[in-house]
Every structure is written in C-alpha cells, then in structure tokens.
C-alpha cells in the first residue's frame, strides 16, 4: 500500500491518496529466494567436503568450515587471497589459468594436487572446479570442491611397495623353483619312483599356477596404474591369430582339444603383443572348459566401424547369472574352477583392460551345456605417428 497527501486548491482542503498493489507473487518469489539461500548456506556450512567460491582471478570469495579445517586457516586468513598462495612448491607454476575457468562449462574440470596447510604440512587432495553462470551465460564465480585423498594415496604407496616386493622377492625365486621342479619331474636327472614322480608332478603344476598368478597380478596392477602403454602398429589379423594359436597349442594338446583358426587377410592397427595376449588368454580359457575331442574355433570378421575377433568352444557354458561377473578380478564361475582348471581368475580382467585401452569392447554369448563364444571388437584407427 502506498499513501500520499495532496491539496485540493478548489475547495481549500488537503486530501490523502492511497493505492493498493497486489504483491502476493512478488512476496512469494522473495520468500522462495530467501529459502533457497538458506538451504544453500546450510549445505555449504554442513557438508564434509571442502568448498571454496573463487573469482575469475582465482582469489577466494568464501570457504566453508570443512575447508577451514582441511587447510588449517581461518576465513579471515584466507579470504581474498589467491589459491596459488596455498599450493605445494612442486605445483607452483602449474596452476589452472583464468581463461580455462572462464571457458569451462558443464561439469567443470578436476585435478589431484598437494595443498599446503598452515603448519606447512602437505595433504593430497582431489579438486573439482566448475563455473557458475547467470541465465545469460555470464560468469559469476567458480565453485571449487576439495576432498582429502591422503589415505588413498597412502594405500597406493603401500600397494606399490607390496607389488615391488612381490616382483623382486617372490617372482624371481618362484621362476627358479618352477624350473628346478620341472627339470627333475621331466626325468632329465634320472628316473624316479612312481610315488615320487606323482608328488613332483603335483608340485610342478602348483608352482606353475602360482607363477601365473603372480605374473597376472603384477601385469593387471601395472595396467590399471597406467604403467603399461600400448604401441599400436599396422598388423595382420590372421598373423595374430596364428601366433596366439601356437602359444596355446601346448595346453590344447594336453587337453586333447583341437584349435581351428580361420585364415583371413584383414589389416588392423593395434598393439600386436597385447592382442596376441588377449587371444591366447581367451583360447586357453576355452580349451580348459572344453571336453576332450572337441574343438575351439578362432575367427575374425569385419564389423561396423572396425574388426571383430571371436573364440568359440563347445564346453559346459556359463550360467546367465554369472555372465555379468566373469570379467571381474578373481571371479570363478563355480567353486573349484581355479583348482580343477588351473586358472587365476585374472585372465578375462586382463583381456578386458587390453581391449578397452584399444577403444573396443569385449563380451560373451553363452548357454549352459551349449558352449561359449567370446567376442571383442576393435575400432578402425590410423597408425600412430612416431
């Protein structure tokens, strides 16, 4: 309501004018804004994730209590200062610039880095930064979410130490033990009594299995840690299949299974050693679960946008509920598979990593008592420049 006074000069009187405006919708909108601000403030203050609001020049507008605790600085000590002031010396000069913050849209960008606390200690953090814009797309401020990942980094360090120990202190003596047992079991040093020969054969099988397990664990960890890089070159699909077939021939002969490779002159660009490793793993896996006297077929065909390999067997098949799990680490379809078939439970996980690093995908079609066919498709790609 608005009230104003006026003078009626005709009659010499003073009048009062009141106007009434309906502001119900404006009042509701204002209340809604205040309620939204209150919710944001409550979330900002109570979330356990450190949050900073930053200007385009990376100076800090506001920070929440979780970030105060993480950094060890109070709001008064950190407000209006630039983020580079609190960065580890090893990361000085590697900061994200203003243009990147202004140009970024959507989910923003993330980085892992060391931050310096008030007591000069350092903490590893995962930082996600995203811009906030108005309805016209104009930059307002940046939201920076900072999570303490020091525990994860410590676990990674311990894991690396353990893998280093496994590599140097376990794999080397295992290789020597396997070779020594195999030499004696083969009869190279003379014939042995039947009961001793049986025990040596068991020891040889178990030492070989343990060596494979150690090698697979180390390979998979190096792969997932990004320590193995692909080296793609132009190669022939049939040549890859032939080499993988030869690598798996000893296993197939021992199981009484025939490997039937197809011969197709088809070119692709890939890391040949890794594709051979994938094919060998799939062929060996198919042989292990195939009955004696059966065959395993290895093929390759053109697929939409690339090339598709296949390895088919006539074994017992995979139950439908197990198919989504078979590429998981250490997963065995049935209890006792690792003992009866000599598997480590890592071969398919390694295959999946190799295929996905090539930009492809891997899957299986299977039915119980009707065998399984593993496929992996690789996209067309040009030879990498060197």
Residues 188, 134: one domain? no
pLDDT value at residue 130: 84
- Is this model's pTM higher than 0.75 or not? no
Last residue of a domain, one of 125, 148, 171: 148
For 352-382, the pLDDT digits (tens) are 999 998 999 999 998 888 889 999 999 877 5
Query: Phi-psi bin for 96: left (phi > 0), alpha (psi -120 to 50), beta?
Result: beta
For 320-364, the pLDDT digits (tens) are 888 888 888 766 665 444 434 555 677 888 899 999 989 999 999
For 192-226, the pLDDT digits (tens) are 888 888 888 888 877 777 777 777 777 777 777 77
Domain count, the chain: 4
- With 70 as the cut, is the pLDDT of residue 1 above it? no
SS (H, E, C) the chain: CEEEEEEECCCCEEEEEEECCCCHHHHHHHHHHHHHHHHHHHHHHHCCCEEEEECCCCEEEEECHHHHHHHCCCHHHHCCCEHHHHECHHHCCCCCCHHHHHHCCCCCEEEEEEEECCCCCEEEEEEEEEEEECCCCCEEEEEEEEEECHHHHHHHHHHHHHHHHHHHHHHHHHHHHHHHHHHHHCCCCCCCCHHHHHHHHHHHHHHHHHHHHHHHHHHHHHHHCCCCCCCCEEEEHHHHHHHHHHHHHHHHHHHCCEEEECCCCCEEEECHHHHHHHHHHHHHHHHHCCCCCCEEEEEEEEECCEEEEEEECCCCCCCCCCHHHCCCCCCCCCCCHHHHHCCCCCHHHHHHHHHHHCCCEEEEEECCCCCEEEEEEEECCCCCCC
Last residue of a domain, one of 204, 228, 252: 228
Residues 168, 265: one domain? no
Residues 213, 249: one domain? no
- With 90 as the cut, is the pLDDT of residue 103 above it? no
Residues 215, 257: one domain? no
- Range of lowest pLDDT (26-30, 47-51, 101-105): 101-105
pLDDT value at residue 266: 87
Query: Phi-psi bin for 169: left (phi > 0), alpha (psi -120 to 50), beta?
Result: alpha
Let me know the angle formed at the C-alpha of 42 by 41 and 44, rounded to the nearest 5 degrees.
60
79 close to 101: Cβ distance less than 8 angstroms: no
Residues 239, 345: one domain? yes
Residues 140, 238: one domain? no
pLDDT value at residue 308: 93
pLDDT value at residue 383: 55
CA dihedral (319, 322, 327, 329) positive or negative: negative
- With 50 as the cut, is the pLDDT of residue 93 above it? no
Residues 223, 200: one domain? yes
- With 70 as the cut, is the pLDDT of residue 25 above it? no
Residues 252, 316: one domain? yes
Q: pLDDT band for 8, please (50, 70, 90 cuts).
A: low
To the nearest whole number, what is the mean pLDDT of the chain?
79
Q: pLDDT band for 3, please (50, 70, 90 cuts).
A: low
pLDDT value at residue 339: 39
For 163, the domain range is 150-228
Residues 65, 35: one domain? no
Residues 224, 237: one domain? no
- With 50 as the cut, is the pLDDT of residue 110 above it? yes
Residues 100, 202: one domain? no
For 269-315, the pLDDT digits (tens) are 999 999 999 999 999 989 988 999 999 999 999 888 889 999 999 98
Residues 318, 378: one domain? yes
Pairing mode, if any, of strands 50-54 and 60-63?
antiparallel
Last residue of a domain, one of 200, 228, 256: 228
């Amino acid at each position: 309501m608005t009230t104003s006074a006026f003078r009626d000069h005709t009659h010499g009187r003073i009048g009062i004018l009141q106007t009434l405006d309906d502001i119900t919708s404006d009042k509701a909108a204002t209340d809604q804004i205040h309620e939204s601000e209150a919710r944001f403030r409550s979330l900002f203050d109570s979330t356990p994730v450190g949050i900073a609001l930053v200007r385009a020049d990376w100076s800090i507008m506001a920070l929440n209590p979780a970030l105060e605790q993480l950094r060890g600085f109070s709001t008064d000590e950190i407000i209006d200062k630039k983020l580079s002031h609190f960065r580890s010396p090893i990361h000085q000069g590697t900061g994200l610039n203003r243009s990147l913050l202004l140009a970024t849209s959507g989910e923003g960008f993330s980085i892992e880095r060391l931050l310096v606390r008030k007591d000069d200690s350092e903490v590893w953090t995962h930082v996600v930064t995203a811009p906030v814009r108005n309805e016209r797309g104009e930059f307002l401020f940046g939201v920076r979410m900072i999570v303490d990942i020091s525990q994860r980094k410590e676990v990674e360090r311990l894991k690396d130490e353990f893998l280093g120990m496994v590599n140097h202190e376990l794999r080397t003596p295992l290789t020597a033990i396997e070779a020594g047992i195999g030499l004696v079991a083969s009869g190279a040093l003379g014939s042995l009594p039947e009961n001793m020969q049986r025990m040596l054969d068991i020891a040889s099988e178990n030492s070989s299995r343990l060596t494979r397990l150690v090698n697979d664990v180390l390979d998979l960890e190096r792969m997932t840690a990004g320590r193995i890089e692909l080296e793609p070159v132009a190669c022939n699909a049939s040549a890859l299949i032939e080499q993988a077939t030869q690598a798996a021939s000893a296993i197939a002969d021992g199981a009484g299974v025939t490997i039937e490779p197809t011969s197709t002159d088809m070119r692709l660009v890939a890391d040949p050693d890794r594709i051979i490793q994938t094919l060998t793993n799939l062929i060996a896996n198919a042989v292990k679960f195939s009955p004696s006297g059966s065959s395993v077929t290895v093929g390759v065909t053109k697929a939409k946008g690339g090339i598709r390999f296949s390895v088919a067997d006539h074994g017992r098949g995979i139950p439908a509920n197990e198919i989504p799990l078979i590429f998981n680490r250490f997963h065995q379809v049935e209890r006792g598979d690792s003992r009866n078939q000599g598997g480590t439970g890592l071969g398919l996980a390694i295959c999946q990593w190799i295929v996905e690093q090539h930009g492809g995908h891997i899957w299986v079609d299977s039915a119980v008592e009707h065998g399984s066919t593993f496929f992996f498709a690789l996209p067309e790609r040009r030879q990498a420049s060197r």
